[in-house]
Amino acid sequence: MPLDVVETLCDLVRLPSVNPMGRDVRGDEYFEYRVTDYLQALFERLGWPWRRQTIEPRRDNIVARLDGEVPPEEGGAILMYEVHQDTVPVDGMTIPPWTPEIRNGRVFGRGSCDIKGGMACMLAALSRLAEQRPAGRPTVVLACSVNEEHGFTGAPRLGELWSGKASFLPRPPDAVIVAEPTLLDVVVAHKGVMRWQCHARGRAAHSSQPELGDNAIYRMARVLGVLEQYAREVVPTLGRHPLLGQPTLSVGRIFGGVSVNTVPDGCTIEIDRRVVPGEDPHAAREHAVQAVGRALGNDPLVEHDQPLLVSQGLSDELSRTLAAQLSETIRDCGTPGRCLGVPYGTDAPAFAGVGIPTVVFGPGSIEQAHTADEWVAIEQLQAATEILFRFASETRFPRGASRLSI
Protein backbone atom coordinates (compact mmCIF):
# COMPACT_ATOMS: atom_id res chain seq x y z
CA MET A 1 0.00 0.00 0.00
CA PRO A 2 1.29 3.52 -0.75
CA LEU A 3 2.42 5.65 2.16
CA ASP A 4 -0.21 7.80 3.85
CA VAL A 5 0.89 11.41 3.47
CA VAL A 6 -0.50 12.60 6.83
CA GLU A 7 0.95 9.70 8.80
CA THR A 8 4.31 10.17 7.07
CA LEU A 9 4.33 13.88 7.86
CA CYS A 10 3.56 13.18 11.52
CA ASP A 11 6.50 10.75 11.61
CA LEU A 12 8.78 13.45 10.20
CA VAL A 13 7.59 16.19 12.56
CA ARG A 14 8.41 13.92 15.53
CA LEU A 15 12.05 13.93 14.44
CA PRO A 16 13.82 17.19 15.38
CA SER A 17 16.12 18.44 12.63
CA VAL A 18 16.82 22.00 13.72
CA ASN A 19 19.36 24.06 11.83
CA PRO A 20 21.45 25.96 14.41
CA MET A 21 21.55 28.91 11.97
CA GLY A 22 25.18 29.65 12.75
CA ARG A 23 24.63 29.87 16.50
CA ASP A 24 26.95 28.12 18.97
CA VAL A 25 24.31 25.79 20.41
CA ARG A 26 24.26 22.21 21.64
CA GLY A 27 21.56 19.55 21.89
CA ASP A 28 20.19 16.41 20.26
CA GLU A 29 17.54 18.42 18.42
CA TYR A 30 20.15 20.06 16.19
CA PHE A 31 21.13 18.83 12.72
CA GLU A 32 19.33 16.48 10.36
CA TYR A 33 20.67 13.03 11.31
CA ARG A 34 17.41 11.76 12.85
CA VAL A 35 15.46 12.45 9.67
CA THR A 36 18.24 10.98 7.53
CA ASP A 37 18.25 7.75 9.53
CA TYR A 38 14.45 7.55 9.25
CA LEU A 39 14.62 8.01 5.48
CA GLN A 40 17.34 5.38 5.11
CA ALA A 41 15.26 2.85 7.04
CA LEU A 42 12.20 3.73 4.96
CA PHE A 43 14.06 3.38 1.67
CA GLU A 44 15.40 0.00 2.76
CA ARG A 45 11.92 -1.17 3.73
CA LEU A 46 10.51 -0.06 0.38
CA GLY A 47 13.41 -1.66 -1.52
CA TRP A 48 14.64 1.56 -3.15
CA PRO A 49 18.38 1.95 -3.84
CA TRP A 50 19.79 4.83 -1.79
CA ARG A 51 22.99 6.77 -1.21
CA ARG A 52 24.16 9.05 1.63
CA GLN A 53 26.56 11.95 1.26
CA THR A 54 28.22 13.34 4.38
CA ILE A 55 28.33 17.13 4.23
CA GLU A 56 29.30 17.79 7.86
CA PRO A 57 29.16 15.68 11.03
CA ARG A 58 25.55 14.55 11.64
CA ARG A 59 24.53 16.18 8.34
CA ASP A 60 24.08 13.82 5.39
CA ASN A 61 22.25 14.27 2.13
CA ILE A 62 20.33 11.12 1.27
CA VAL A 63 18.91 10.15 -2.12
CA ALA A 64 16.77 7.27 -3.36
CA ARG A 65 16.10 6.10 -6.89
CA LEU A 66 12.97 4.58 -8.41
CA ASP A 67 13.79 3.32 -11.89
CA GLY A 68 11.50 4.13 -14.78
CA GLU A 69 10.29 1.92 -17.58
CA VAL A 70 13.54 2.66 -19.43
CA PRO A 71 16.50 2.98 -17.03
CA PRO A 72 18.66 6.09 -17.53
CA GLU A 73 21.64 3.86 -18.36
CA GLU A 74 19.66 2.92 -21.49
CA GLY A 75 18.66 6.50 -22.25
CA GLY A 76 15.54 6.84 -20.11
CA ALA A 77 14.61 10.21 -18.61
CA ILE A 78 15.44 11.29 -15.06
CA LEU A 79 13.16 13.46 -12.93
CA MET A 80 14.46 14.64 -9.57
CA TYR A 81 12.30 15.67 -6.62
CA GLU A 82 14.43 17.64 -4.12
CA VAL A 83 13.55 18.66 -0.56
CA HIS A 84 15.56 19.84 2.45
CA GLN A 85 15.58 18.00 5.77
CA ASP A 86 16.28 20.90 8.16
CA THR A 87 13.92 23.27 9.92
CA VAL A 88 14.44 26.63 11.57
CA PRO A 89 14.80 26.76 15.38
CA VAL A 90 11.81 26.47 17.71
CA ASP A 91 12.42 29.59 19.84
CA GLY A 92 9.14 31.28 20.70
CA MET A 93 6.84 28.54 19.45
CA THR A 94 3.41 28.44 21.07
CA ILE A 95 2.73 24.77 20.26
CA PRO A 96 4.77 21.64 21.03
CA PRO A 97 7.22 21.70 18.10
CA TRP A 98 7.78 17.94 17.79
CA THR A 99 4.39 16.58 18.82
CA PRO A 100 2.30 16.67 15.65
CA GLU A 101 -1.33 17.58 16.18
CA ILE A 102 -4.16 17.15 13.67
CA ARG A 103 -6.81 19.80 14.20
CA ASN A 104 -9.30 21.66 11.99
CA GLY A 105 -8.00 19.97 8.85
CA ARG A 106 -4.41 20.96 9.59
CA VAL A 107 -1.22 19.29 10.77
CA PHE A 108 0.62 21.41 13.35
CA GLY A 109 4.32 21.17 14.28
CA ARG A 110 7.75 22.54 13.37
CA GLY A 111 8.50 21.74 9.75
CA SER A 112 4.93 20.74 8.91
CA CYS A 113 4.80 23.54 6.32
CA ASP A 114 8.52 24.14 5.65
CA ILE A 115 9.07 21.61 4.32
CA LYS A 116 8.43 18.22 5.83
CA GLY A 117 4.93 18.45 4.39
CA GLY A 118 6.44 18.61 0.92
CA MET A 119 8.79 15.75 1.78
CA ALA A 120 5.86 13.61 2.89
CA CYS A 121 4.07 14.37 -0.40
CA MET A 122 7.10 13.32 -2.43
CA LEU A 123 7.49 10.11 -0.42
CA ALA A 124 3.81 9.27 -0.79
CA ALA A 125 3.82 10.01 -4.54
CA LEU A 126 6.90 7.83 -5.11
CA SER A 127 5.46 4.96 -3.09
CA ARG A 128 2.36 5.06 -5.29
CA LEU A 129 4.55 5.13 -8.42
CA ALA A 130 6.43 2.10 -7.13
CA GLU A 131 3.19 0.21 -6.57
CA GLN A 132 1.32 1.14 -9.76
CA ARG A 133 4.34 1.39 -12.12
CA PRO A 134 2.58 3.40 -14.85
CA ALA A 135 3.83 2.85 -18.39
CA GLY A 136 6.30 5.37 -19.75
CA ARG A 137 7.30 6.73 -16.36
CA PRO A 138 10.78 8.27 -15.98
CA THR A 139 13.30 7.32 -13.36
CA VAL A 140 12.46 9.44 -10.32
CA VAL A 141 15.17 10.41 -7.85
CA LEU A 142 14.21 11.73 -4.41
CA ALA A 143 17.01 13.91 -3.06
CA CYS A 144 16.80 15.03 0.58
CA SER A 145 19.42 17.67 1.30
CA VAL A 146 20.80 19.35 4.43
CA ASN A 147 21.44 22.94 5.51
CA GLU A 148 19.02 24.79 3.27
CA GLU A 149 17.89 27.21 5.96
CA HIS A 150 21.37 28.62 6.66
CA GLY A 151 23.92 28.18 3.95
CA PHE A 152 22.60 26.09 1.04
CA THR A 153 25.56 23.72 1.42
CA GLY A 154 23.77 20.41 0.86
CA ALA A 155 22.09 20.84 -2.51
CA PRO A 156 25.21 21.80 -4.55
CA ARG A 157 26.87 18.54 -3.47
CA LEU A 158 24.10 16.51 -5.12
CA GLY A 159 25.93 17.02 -8.41
CA GLU A 160 28.40 14.38 -7.21
CA LEU A 161 25.65 11.82 -7.82
CA TRP A 162 26.11 12.05 -11.55
CA SER A 163 29.85 12.69 -11.72
CA GLY A 164 32.79 10.43 -10.94
CA LYS A 165 33.27 6.70 -11.22
CA ALA A 166 31.02 5.76 -8.31
CA SER A 167 28.05 7.84 -9.47
CA PHE A 168 24.49 7.08 -8.47
CA LEU A 169 23.16 8.35 -11.82
CA PRO A 170 24.72 8.11 -15.29
CA ARG A 171 24.00 11.79 -16.09
CA PRO A 172 22.27 14.87 -14.68
CA PRO A 173 18.49 14.89 -14.25
CA ASP A 174 16.37 16.20 -17.12
CA ALA A 175 14.30 18.27 -14.70
CA VAL A 176 14.14 19.10 -11.00
CA ILE A 177 11.17 20.05 -8.81
CA VAL A 178 12.26 21.61 -5.51
CA ALA A 179 9.81 21.43 -2.60
CA GLU A 180 8.85 24.65 -0.84
CA PRO A 181 5.45 25.93 0.33
CA THR A 182 3.98 27.57 -2.81
CA LEU A 183 0.23 26.97 -2.28
CA LEU A 184 0.40 24.57 -5.25
CA ASP A 185 1.58 27.30 -7.62
CA VAL A 186 4.79 26.99 -9.66
CA VAL A 187 7.66 29.26 -8.64
CA VAL A 188 9.75 29.90 -11.73
CA ALA A 189 11.96 32.73 -10.45
CA HIS A 190 13.28 34.04 -7.17
CA LYS A 191 15.93 36.38 -5.85
CA GLY A 192 19.40 35.32 -4.80
CA VAL A 193 21.29 36.52 -1.76
CA MET A 194 24.71 37.73 -0.67
CA ARG A 195 25.37 38.06 3.08
CA TRP A 196 28.48 39.33 4.81
CA GLN A 197 29.72 40.98 7.99
CA CYS A 198 31.16 44.46 8.30
CA HIS A 199 33.31 45.43 11.29
CA ALA A 200 34.08 48.84 12.76
CA ARG A 201 37.19 48.95 14.92
CA GLY A 202 37.94 51.36 17.75
CA ARG A 203 39.88 51.71 20.99
CA ALA A 204 38.56 50.72 24.41
CA ALA A 205 38.52 53.11 27.36
CA HIS A 206 36.62 53.62 30.60
CA SER A 207 33.28 55.30 29.99
CA SER A 208 34.14 57.99 32.55
CA GLN A 209 36.82 59.21 30.11
CA PRO A 210 35.40 58.42 26.66
CA GLU A 211 37.73 60.97 25.04
CA LEU A 212 40.60 58.50 25.66
CA GLY A 213 38.92 55.88 23.50
CA ASP A 214 37.57 55.57 19.98
CA ASN A 215 33.95 54.45 19.98
CA ALA A 216 33.43 51.70 17.39
CA ILE A 217 29.65 51.91 17.71
CA TYR A 218 29.74 55.58 16.68
CA ARG A 219 31.89 54.62 13.70
CA MET A 220 29.43 51.88 12.76
CA ALA A 221 26.59 54.39 13.05
CA ARG A 222 28.21 56.31 10.20
CA VAL A 223 28.44 53.10 8.17
CA LEU A 224 24.76 52.42 8.82
CA GLY A 225 23.80 55.89 7.67
CA VAL A 226 25.61 55.32 4.39
CA LEU A 227 24.03 51.89 3.90
CA GLU A 228 20.53 53.18 4.65
CA GLN A 229 20.83 55.87 1.99
CA TYR A 230 22.51 53.44 -0.44
CA ALA A 231 19.71 50.88 0.04
CA ARG A 232 17.04 53.50 -0.52
CA GLU A 233 18.53 55.48 -3.42
CA VAL A 234 21.03 53.28 -5.24
CA VAL A 235 20.21 49.58 -4.95
CA PRO A 236 16.78 49.87 -6.63
CA THR A 237 18.49 51.30 -9.72
CA LEU A 238 20.88 48.36 -10.13
CA GLY A 239 18.50 45.85 -11.69
CA ARG A 240 14.93 44.77 -12.27
CA HIS A 241 13.11 41.52 -13.04
CA PRO A 242 9.55 41.40 -14.41
CA LEU A 243 8.43 38.85 -11.80
CA LEU A 244 10.59 39.94 -8.87
CA GLY A 245 10.97 43.69 -9.06
CA GLN A 246 14.10 45.38 -7.79
CA PRO A 247 17.09 44.19 -5.74
CA THR A 248 17.27 45.15 -2.07
CA LEU A 249 19.77 45.63 0.76
CA SER A 250 19.12 45.51 4.49
CA VAL A 251 21.09 45.25 7.73
CA GLY A 252 19.66 42.52 9.93
CA ARG A 253 22.01 42.25 12.92
CA ILE A 254 24.26 44.51 14.97
CA PHE A 255 26.37 43.67 17.99
CA GLY A 256 29.32 45.22 19.79
CA GLY A 257 30.78 46.36 23.07
CA VAL A 258 31.42 44.47 26.28
CA SER A 259 29.71 46.61 28.92
CA VAL A 260 27.89 49.89 29.28
CA ASN A 261 30.82 51.44 31.16
CA THR A 262 33.41 50.62 28.50
CA VAL A 263 33.96 52.51 25.27
CA PRO A 264 33.55 49.75 22.66
CA ASP A 265 36.52 48.78 20.54
CA GLY A 266 34.47 46.75 18.07
CA CYS A 267 31.05 46.67 16.44
CA THR A 268 29.74 44.27 13.77
CA ILE A 269 26.77 44.26 11.45
CA GLU A 270 25.43 41.60 9.07
CA ILE A 271 24.30 42.78 5.65
CA ASP A 272 21.75 41.04 3.41
CA ARG A 273 21.82 41.95 -0.29
CA ARG A 274 19.09 40.33 -2.41
CA VAL A 275 19.97 40.05 -6.10
CA VAL A 276 17.66 39.53 -9.06
CA PRO A 277 18.46 36.91 -11.73
CA GLY A 278 21.28 38.17 -13.90
CA GLU A 279 22.99 40.09 -11.10
CA ASP A 280 26.35 38.79 -9.87
CA PRO A 281 26.16 38.50 -6.06
CA HIS A 282 29.90 39.11 -5.69
CA ALA A 283 29.74 42.23 -7.85
CA ALA A 284 26.75 43.41 -5.80
CA ARG A 285 28.74 43.07 -2.57
CA GLU A 286 31.75 44.87 -4.03
CA HIS A 287 29.54 47.73 -5.22
CA ALA A 288 28.19 48.21 -1.68
CA VAL A 289 31.66 47.96 -0.12
CA GLN A 290 32.99 50.63 -2.48
CA ALA A 291 30.02 52.92 -1.73
CA VAL A 292 30.76 52.72 2.00
CA GLY A 293 34.46 53.31 1.37
CA ARG A 294 33.91 56.41 -0.75
CA ALA A 295 31.46 57.94 1.72
CA LEU A 296 33.78 57.42 4.72
CA GLY A 297 37.05 58.32 3.04
CA ASN A 298 38.16 54.68 2.94
CA ASP A 299 38.38 54.55 6.72
CA PRO A 300 40.92 51.78 7.49
CA LEU A 301 39.01 50.91 10.67
CA VAL A 302 35.99 49.75 8.66
CA GLU A 303 36.48 46.21 7.35
CA HIS A 304 34.31 43.85 5.32
CA ASP A 305 34.58 40.07 5.73
CA GLN A 306 34.34 37.54 2.93
CA PRO A 307 30.78 36.32 2.23
CA LEU A 308 28.84 34.30 4.77
CA LEU A 309 26.34 33.08 2.18
CA VAL A 310 26.10 33.33 -1.59
CA SER A 311 23.17 32.12 -3.67
CA GLN A 312 22.32 32.99 -7.24
CA GLY A 313 18.78 33.91 -8.10
CA LEU A 314 16.51 31.53 -10.02
CA SER A 315 15.79 32.64 -13.59
CA ASP A 316 12.64 31.57 -15.40
CA GLU A 317 14.35 31.37 -18.80
CA LEU A 318 15.54 27.77 -18.61
CA SER A 319 12.41 26.29 -17.02
CA ARG A 320 9.57 27.63 -19.16
CA THR A 321 8.68 24.29 -20.74
CA LEU A 322 8.93 22.43 -17.43
CA ALA A 323 6.84 25.08 -15.69
CA ALA A 324 4.15 24.96 -18.38
CA GLN A 325 3.87 21.19 -18.14
CA LEU A 326 3.72 21.16 -14.34
CA SER A 327 1.17 23.99 -14.40
CA GLU A 328 -0.97 21.95 -16.79
CA THR A 329 -0.88 18.96 -14.44
CA ILE A 330 -1.86 21.20 -11.51
CA ARG A 331 -4.79 22.65 -13.44
CA ASP A 332 -5.92 19.16 -14.40
CA CYS A 333 -6.05 18.45 -10.65
CA GLY A 334 -8.37 21.40 -10.06
CA THR A 335 -6.15 24.25 -8.84
CA PRO A 336 -4.88 27.33 -10.74
CA GLY A 337 -1.18 26.38 -10.96
CA ARG A 338 0.00 29.93 -11.57
CA CYS A 339 3.62 30.54 -12.60
CA LEU A 340 5.10 33.26 -10.42
CA GLY A 341 8.19 34.77 -8.83
CA VAL A 342 8.94 35.06 -5.10
CA PRO A 343 11.44 37.10 -3.07
CA TYR A 344 12.80 34.29 -0.87
CA GLY A 345 15.54 31.81 -1.78
CA THR A 346 15.53 28.04 -2.29
CA ASP A 347 17.83 25.19 -3.29
CA ALA A 348 16.76 25.57 -6.93
CA PRO A 349 19.77 27.61 -8.15
CA ALA A 350 22.05 24.67 -7.31
CA PHE A 351 20.47 22.84 -10.26
CA ALA A 352 19.39 25.65 -12.56
CA GLY A 353 22.90 27.08 -12.26
CA VAL A 354 24.33 24.02 -14.01
CA GLY A 355 21.77 24.03 -16.80
CA ILE A 356 19.00 21.80 -15.43
CA PRO A 357 15.42 23.08 -15.85
CA THR A 358 14.20 23.62 -12.28
CA VAL A 359 11.02 24.90 -10.66
CA VAL A 360 9.74 25.14 -7.08
CA PHE A 361 6.43 23.61 -5.95
CA GLY A 362 4.78 22.34 -2.81
CA PRO A 363 1.90 22.36 -0.34
CA GLY A 364 1.23 25.10 2.19
CA SER A 365 1.84 28.82 2.31
CA ILE A 366 5.11 30.60 2.99
CA GLU A 367 3.09 32.68 5.47
CA GLN A 368 2.93 29.64 7.78
CA ALA A 369 6.63 28.77 7.42
CA HIS A 370 8.83 29.49 10.47
CA THR A 371 5.82 30.63 12.54
CA ALA A 372 5.10 30.10 16.24
CA ASP A 373 2.23 27.71 15.44
CA GLU A 374 3.41 26.30 12.12
CA TRP A 375 0.84 24.23 10.22
CA VAL A 376 -0.12 22.91 6.80
CA ALA A 377 -3.60 22.10 5.47
CA ILE A 378 -4.28 18.41 4.90
CA GLU A 379 -6.12 19.16 1.64
CA GLN A 380 -2.92 20.81 0.36
CA LEU A 381 -0.91 17.71 1.26
CA GLN A 382 -3.34 15.44 -0.55
CA ALA A 383 -3.50 17.66 -3.62
CA ALA A 384 0.30 18.01 -3.86
CA THR A 385 0.72 14.23 -3.60
CA GLU A 386 -1.71 13.69 -6.46
CA ILE A 387 -0.01 16.36 -8.60
CA LEU A 388 3.47 14.92 -8.06
CA PHE A 389 2.22 11.41 -8.85
CA ARG A 390 0.43 12.48 -12.02
CA PHE A 391 3.33 14.59 -13.23
CA ALA A 392 5.76 11.67 -12.94
CA SER A 393 3.19 9.26 -14.43
CA GLU A 394 1.99 11.27 -17.42
CA THR A 395 4.81 13.59 -18.50
CA ARG A 396 7.02 12.26 -21.28
CA PHE A 397 10.67 13.26 -21.46
CA PRO A 398 12.68 12.93 -24.67
CA ARG A 399 15.53 10.62 -23.75
CA GLY A 400 18.67 12.38 -22.62
CA ALA A 401 17.13 15.82 -23.21
CA SER A 402 16.08 18.64 -20.95
CA ARG A 403 12.81 19.55 -22.66
CA LEU A 404 9.45 17.97 -21.77
CA SER A 405 6.50 16.96 -23.86
CA ILE A 406 3.24 15.18 -23.29
Q: Where are the alpha helices (DSSP H) in 170-319?
A: 216-233, 281-295
Q: What does the DSSP 8-state code read for residue 313?
A: P
Per-residue model confidence as pLDDT tens digits over 300-328: 999 999 999 999 899 999 999 999 999 99
Angle at 171 between CA 178 and CA 321, to 5 degrees: 50
- 199 bridge partner residues: 268, 303
Q: Which helix (H) or strand (E) holds 201?
A: strand 192-201
**What is the distance of C-alpha 310 from the center of its chain?**
12
C-alpha–C-alpha distance, residues 42 and 160, integer Å: 23
Q: How many CA atoms lie within 13 A of 293 on its CB side?
A: 10
How many Cβ atoms sit within 10 Å of the Cβ of residue 88?
17
Rounded CA separation 4/125 (Å): 10
What's the pLDDT band for 395 if we cut at 50, 70, 90?
Answer: confident
Q: Looking at the chain, which residues constitute the CATH 3.40.630.10 domain(s)?
A: 5-190+313-394
**Which of 109, 91, 82, 80 shows the shortest CA–CA distance to 8?**
109
CA distances from 132 to 128, 224, 359, 393 (A): 6, 59, 26, 10
Domain(s) of CATH 3.30.70.360: residues in the chain: 192-311
Amino acid identity, position 149:
E
Element (H, E) at 258: none
If one counts every other C-beta atom within 10 angstroms of the C-beta of residue 212, the result is: 11
Cβ-count burial of 103 within 10 angstroms (0-12 exposed, 13-18 middle, 19+ buried)?
exposed
Inform me whether the pLDDT recorded for 175 exceeds 60: yes
Output the average pLDDT for the chain. Answer: 95
pLDDT tens column, 270-304: 999 999 999 999 999 999 999 999 999 999 999 99
Strand (E) or helix (H) holding 115: none
- At residue 55 the predicted structure's pLDDT band, cuts being 50, 70 and 90, is very high
Collapsing DSSP states into helix, strand and coil, what is residue 326? helix
State how far the Cα of 68 lies from the Cα of 61, in Å rounded to an integer. 22
Mean pLDDT value of segment 9-19: 98
Q: Which residues pair with 208 in a beta bridge?
A: none
Whether the per-residue pLDDT at 162 is higher than 50: the answer is yes
Residue 230 has pLDDT above 60, yes or no: yes
Do residues 61 and 154 lie in contact, with contact meaning Cβ atoms separated by under 8 Å?
A: yes
* Of the ranges 119-128, 160-169, 396-405, the best mean pLDDT one: 119-128
Closest of 83, 82, 85 to residue 31, by C-alpha: 85
Cβ of 84: how many Cβ atoms within 10 Å? 31
Task: With CA atoms as reference, report the closest residue to 15 among 25, 29, 3, 1.
Answer: 29
pLDDT in tens, 62-92: 999 999 999 999 999 999 999 999 999 999 9
- Supply the CATH classification number for the domain 192-311: 3.30.70.360
Pair 175, 400: CB distance under 8 Å: no
Q: How far from each other are the two terminal CA atoms of the chain, in whole angstroms?
A: 28
CA distances from residue 39 to 50, 64, 120, 316, 341 in whole angstroms, order as listed: 9, 9, 11, 32, 31
Q: Is the dihedral of CA 207, 210, 213, 219 positive or negative?
A: positive
Number of neighbouring beta carbons within 10 Å of residue 146: 29
Q: In this model, does residue 1 exceed pLDDT 70?
A: yes
What average pLDDT does this structure show over 134-138?
Answer: 95
Q: Which architecture does CATH list for 5-190+313-394?
A: 3-Layer(aba) Sandwich (3.40)
